[in-house]
Amino acid sequence: MKEEIIFTKAVGNTPKIKVLEFLIEGRELDYFLSDIAEGSGIGRTTLFKIWNDFENLKLIKPTRIIGNAKLFKLNLENPFVKKLVELFDALIMNALNETFVEV
């Protein structure tokens, strides 16, 4: 099981947050849905239940098709996603700064 990082501790530990965390961490990459489920630590069924919300809110965007499978990545042009990425980066930087201060 993946260790909870500062983002999920601050924002919550729900399937949607886990998916967002995974996509933000790998924001420059695109993924198959099965990779997103596995990387997020949630089941594929759970991902399929929440995926329409991600598509309807345009939090993700399709990037390409390989065979019959679509790949997706975080939509970094979405204003909400931009704010989430800023929050994620700020939390990580704050945690890193606190780690270096303690040493």
Number of domains the chain is built from? 1
Question: Edge to edge, what strands does the sheet with 31-32 contain?
Answer: 31-32, 69-74, 60-66
**Domain that includes residue 69, residue range:** 12-102
In a domain, 3, yes or no: no
In a domain, 4, yes or no: no
Tokens of 34: 């099965």
Tokens of 92: 């990580």
In a domain, 1, yes or no: no
pLDDT in tens, 1-57: 344 577 888 888 899 999 999 999 999 999 999 999 999 999 999 999 999 999 999
pLDDT in tens, 61-96: 999 999 999 999 999 999 999 999 999 999 888 877
Q: Which CATH number characterizes residue 68's domain?
A: 1.10.10.10
In a domain, 27, yes or no: yes
In a domain, 28, yes or no: yes
In a domain, 79, yes or no: yes
List phi, psi (to 5°) of 57: -85, 0
